[in-house]
């Protein structure tokens, strides 16, 4: 027996060394690939919050548990941990035959009991996962290769779990398991312990098999199932030396991807540095223009499809799948890395990402609504990659959909997308008794009207409504009037970073000249830019969206309301108010104060609400790449509630939904919540 233990130790050591070799080779290649990416200094710092993120989203699996399949993943995750706690004990015994965790006492009995039942539920979860991949393979994986990879992993985990419980049963049958030797139990004990393994052990004894031979065979099977699983996860599934990680490489990459996640507001875009003379190209044209964190995103994607399930473009048959975007970029990254590995002295021929890797129409289909990123369990960031691709197309190639160039010209000449004269910006306020900051520089709060609120006929009514609300509450406020300019939101999201920064800088200089501290606006896009992007350029202000402000006025009794007409209302969550900035409760709180309003939610609401289709600059051009218009689908969802009105808190949502009503013939009206409040003011 001693000779066999030596053979086991030597053989196991060789297996471990081989596994470590392939593992570290794969990790080293992946490290080299990410090292080619650009720096990402914003991904460091605030380590307390980053550690909390790993605990909540990796070990707590918060985002996964929001999805029906999340419970199965939760079971597999923790079952795998439980199995490998015991597996660690088994492996140590390859060198120290008498080692065990039995010193934990009753805690050891509980671990064995827990492992046993976790394996049972693990098998159920794996069976359900197997069934899902055969019954819904297009949504789950999107390609035969990815589906095959997922199935191999399912089989591998099932085999490992099976060997684990069978090995334990053989040791129990032989009477050499620590639960018997150290804890003093027997096969017939009723104490807490490995329940399922005990049942199998009794069967092993009844068969009359050579239990020592059986235990040795199962030990090697158990060891191989773990080590070969690791080799497959880390790398050589295609061929050596092409290091091509399994989709389940996320077992390793996910904690790091979550740890280095974006802690800034999701609505904020990282600025380009136009003063850095070493930068020759702006945006991303080849894969190594991405940062190392963006590359880590690509490795971490599992192809689960949760992003495209909620993507408004994908749902409506438009040419964008967030999942395919990431997987296509990853494929290109791996192609480049493999070529560099096999041809270290050769010049790399890079594919131009927009056009050769990602179809051009794909990057312009995105509404930047943040649905994909909110749904992703691993915090993969799709929007920044799309914006970087747009920046290259706009700034370096001057290639963008028809109509965008006119909007850029309008903003350059008149500081608004409509191209209406700057001198007309405050005409909407005539007769309302509104003062400008020039007239009232000491005003308590600045009302940032925005381009829509200044020039769009429909949005002007909302501007007027907010003025009446502020006046009724006795708020000392002022506007910038003709001095106000576009915040830069639409041009920035269409890739024209240079023009956006020019507008932002000029606006900040103006605001600082008036020593502005507090700003209110009803446009979520203005709100997001003022609150989340102006600080990058030195403009730090307290920015409040009108729904938050009005909800507080109602809550504190400063805005008495009277009963109005009885109506049935549903509410559409603006992406830049909701998902990007987390404002969901204030609009609904306002609705509760509106006596006579019956509120009903749409099926997709709050963080899974469908975009109206205007975000990401889509308000300013038509995309003729097929599919249904997003606003029409959203109107249909509202109509399904039986509501009379769609409540909104965004001028772009108003425009898109009203257009959708015209095109679908739905019996609905769009109303801004501020208009409803004004209609019930108890003057």
Residue 286 sits in a domain whose CATH number is 1.10.1060
pLDDT at residue 139 above 60?
no
pLDDT at 304: 84
Dihedral, CA of residue 522, residue 527, residue 531 and residue 533, to nearest 10: -160
The H or E element containing residue 521 is strand 518-521
Positive or negative: CA dihedral 475, 480, 484, 487 = negative
Lowest mean pLDDT segment, chosen from 73-77, 174-178, 194-198, 247-251: 247-251
Which pLDDT score is estimated for 84? 80
Answer whether residue 468 is part of any domain.
yes
In a domain, 159, yes or no: yes
Same domain? For 539 and 564 the reply is no
User: Residue 134: pLDDT above 80?
Assistant: no
Asked whether residue 54 is domain-assigned, the answer is: no
- How many domains does the chain divide into? 4
Question: What are the tens digits of pLDDT across the range 164-183?
Answer: 899 999 989 998 888 898 88
Q: Which residue has the higher pLDDT, 76 or 352?
A: 352
Is the same domain home to 529 and 581?
A: no
Domain end residue (candidates: 397, 432, 462): 397
CATH of the domain at 528: 3.40.50.1860
Residues 357 and 467 in one domain: no
Report which of residues 234 and 130 the model is more confident about.
130
Shared domain for 574 and 660, answered yes or no, is yes
245, 109: one domain: yes
pLDDT for 316 equals 94
* Residue numbers of the domain that contains 572: 559-679
What integer pLDDT is reported at residue 239 of this predicted model? 43
List the single range of 21-25, 109-113, 191-195, 489-493 with lowest mean pLDDT.
21-25
Averaged pLDDT, 282-293: 96
Residue 256 lies inside a defined structural domain of this protein: no
516 and 610 inside one domain: no
Interval 493-546: pLDDT, tens = 999 999 999 999 999 999 999 999 999 999 999 999 999 999 999 999 999 999
Residues 464, 365: one domain?
Answer: no
What is the model's pLDDT at position 155?
86
Q: Which of 554, 583, 605 is the last residue of a domain?
A: 554
Question: What number of other Cβ atoms are within 10 A of residue 259's Cβ?
Answer: 17
Per-residue pLDDT at 552: 97
243 compared with 580, residue with greater pLDDT: 580
Count of helix runs (H) and strand runs (E) in the chain = 28, 8
pLDDT of residue 396: 96
Q: In which band, very low, low, confident or very high, does the pLDDT at 92 lie, cut at 50, 70 and 90?
A: confident
Q: How far apart are CA 572 and CA 584, in angstroms?
A: 10
413-425: average pLDDT? 95
Determine the average pLDDT of the residues in 56-67.
Answer: 88
pLDDT higher than threshold 90 for residue 606: yes
In this structure, are 362 and 382 located in the same domain?
A: yes
Are the beta carbons of 436 and 480 closer than 8 angstroms?
yes
Does the pLDDT at position 466 exceed 70?
A: yes
User: 374-377 long-range CB contacts below 8 Å, 24 or more apart?
Assistant: 374/266, 374/310, 374/579, 374/607, 374/608, 375/63, 375/306, 375/307, 375/309, 375/310, 375/608, 376/63, 376/306, 376/307, 377/57, 377/61, 377/63, 377/64, 377/67, 377/70, 377/304, 377/306
Q: Give residue-wise pLDDT tens across range 289-311.
A: 999 999 999 989 988 889 999 99
Strands 518-521 and 669-672, sheet pairing? unpaired
53 within domain boundaries: no
Please indicate whether residue 234 or residue 419 has the higher confidence score (pLDDT).
Answer: 419
Residue 616 resides in a domain: yes
Query: Which residues are 471's β-sheet partners?
Result: none
Among the three residues 219, 251, 283, which one is the final residue of a domain in this structure? 251
Mean confidence (pLDDT) of the chain: 90
pLDDT reported for residue 3:
54
Residue 472, token pair as written in the block: 């009724």
Q: Is the pLDDT of residue 393 over 90?
A: yes
> For residue 499, is it within any domain?
yes
Contact status, residue 472 vs residue 562, Cβ threshold 8 Å: no
- Report the CATH number that the domain containing residue 605 is assigned in CATH: 3.40.50.10700
Radius of gyration of the chain (CA): 30
Same domain flag for 541 and 565: no
pLDDT of residue 136: 57
Highest mean pLDDT: which range of 41-55, 102-116, 538-552: 538-552
pLDDT at 2 over 70: no
Per-residue confidence (pLDDT) for residue 680, from 0 to 100: 93
Confidence of residue 145 (pLDDT cuts 50, 70, 90): low
46 lies in some domain = no
Residue 674, helix vs strand vs coil: helix
**For residue 610, what pLDDT is reported?**
96
Please tell me the distance from the alpha carbon of residue 178 to that of residue 191, in angstroms, as a whole number.
14
**13 and 154 part of one domain:** yes
Per-residue pLDDT tens for 185-208? 888 887 888 888 999 999 999 998
Per-residue pLDDT band for 36 (boundaries 50, 70, 90) equals: confident
Indicate if the pLDDT at residue 118 is higher than 60. yes
Based on the fold, state whether residues 388 and 430 are members of the same structural domain. no
pLDDT score at 537 = 97
The mean pLDDT value for 608-636 works out to: 90
- Give the model's pLDDT for residue 644: 95
pLDDT tier for residue 238 given thresholds of 50, 70 and 90: very low
462 and 377 in a common domain: no
């Amino acid at each position: 027996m001693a000779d066999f233990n030596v053979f086991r130790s030597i053989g196991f050591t060789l297996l471990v060394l081989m596994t470590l070799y392939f593992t570290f080779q794969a990790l080293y290649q992946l490290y080299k690939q990410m090292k080619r990416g650009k720096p990402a200094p914003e991904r460091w710092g605030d380590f307390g919050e980053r550690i909390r993120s790993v605990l909540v989203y990796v070990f707590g699996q918060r985002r996964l548990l929001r999805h029906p399949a999340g419970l199965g993943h939760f079971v597999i995750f923790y079952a795998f941990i439980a199995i490998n706690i015991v597996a660690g004990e088994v492996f140590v015994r390859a060198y120290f035959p008498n080692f065990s965790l039995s010193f934990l006492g009753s805690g050891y009995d509980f671990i064995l009991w827990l492992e046993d039942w976790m394996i049972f539920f693990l098998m159920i979860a794996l069976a359900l996962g197997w069934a899902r991949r055969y019954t819904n393979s297009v949504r789950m994986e999107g390609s035969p290769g990815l589906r095959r990879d997922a199935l191999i992993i399912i089989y591998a985990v099932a085999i490992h779990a099976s060997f684990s419980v069978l090995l334990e049963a053989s040791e129990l049958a032989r009477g050499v398991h620590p639960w018997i030797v150290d804890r003093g139990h027997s096969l017939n004990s009723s104490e807490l312990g490995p329940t399922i393994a005990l049942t199998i052990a009794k069967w092993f004894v009844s068969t009359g098999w050579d239990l020592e031979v059986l235990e040795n065979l199962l030990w090697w099977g158990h060891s191989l199932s773990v080590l070969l699983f690791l080799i497959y996860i880390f790398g050589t599934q295609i061929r050596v030396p092409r290091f091509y990680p399994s989709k389940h490489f996320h077992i390793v990459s996910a904690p790091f991807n979550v740890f280095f996640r974006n802690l800034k507001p999701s609505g904020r875009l990282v600025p380009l540095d136009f003063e850095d003379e070493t930068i020759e190209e702006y945006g991303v044209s080849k894969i190594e223009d991405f940062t190392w964190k963006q590359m880590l995103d690509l490795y971490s994607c599992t192809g689960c499809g949760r992003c495209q399930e909620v993507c408004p473009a994908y749902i409506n048959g438009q040419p964008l799948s967030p999942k395919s975007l990431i997987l296509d970029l990853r494929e290109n990254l791996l192609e480049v890395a493999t070529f560099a590995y096999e041809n270290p002295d050769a010049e790399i021929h890079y594919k131009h990402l927009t056009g050769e890797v990602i179809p051009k129409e794909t990057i312009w289909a995105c509404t930047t609504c943040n649905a994909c990123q909110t749904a992703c369990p691993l915090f993969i960031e799709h929007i920044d990659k799309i914006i970087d691709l747009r920046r290259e197309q706009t700034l370096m190639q001057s290639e963008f959909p028809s109509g965008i160039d006119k909007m850029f010209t309008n903003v350059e000449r008149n500081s608004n997308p409509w191209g209406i004269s700057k001198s007309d910006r405050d005409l909407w306020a005539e007769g309302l008794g509104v003062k400008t900051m020039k007239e009232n520089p000491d005003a308590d709060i600045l009302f940032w009207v925005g381009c829509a609120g200044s020039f769009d006929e429909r949005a002007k009514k909302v501007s007027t409504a907010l003025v009446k609300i502020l006046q009724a509450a006795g708020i000392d406020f002022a506007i910038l009037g003709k001095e106000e300019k576009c915040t830069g939101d639409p041009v920035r999201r269409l890739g024209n970073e240079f023009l956006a920064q020019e507008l932002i800088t000029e606006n900040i200089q103006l605001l600082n000249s008036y020593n502005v501290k507090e700003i209110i606006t009803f446009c979520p896009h203005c709100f997001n830019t003022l609150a989340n992007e102006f600080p990058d350029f030195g403009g730090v202000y307290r920015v409040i969206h009108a729904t938050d402000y009005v909800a507080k006025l109602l809550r504190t009794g400063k805005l008495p309301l009277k009963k109005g007409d009885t109506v049935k209302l549903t509410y559409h969550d603006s992406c830049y108010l909701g998902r990007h900035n987390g404002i969901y409760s204030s609009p609904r709180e306002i609705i509760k104060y509106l006596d006579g309003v019956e509120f009903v939610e749409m099926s997709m609401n709050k963080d899974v609400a469908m975009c109206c289709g205007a975000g990401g600059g889509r308000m300013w051009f038509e995309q003729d790449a097929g599919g249904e218009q997003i606003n029409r689908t959203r109107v249909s969802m509202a109509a399904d509630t039986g509501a009379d009105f769609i409540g909104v808190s965004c001028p772009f949502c108003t425009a898109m939904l009203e257009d959708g009503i015209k095109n679908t013939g739905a019996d609905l009206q769009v109303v801004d919540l501020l208009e409803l409040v004004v209609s019930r003011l108890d003057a």
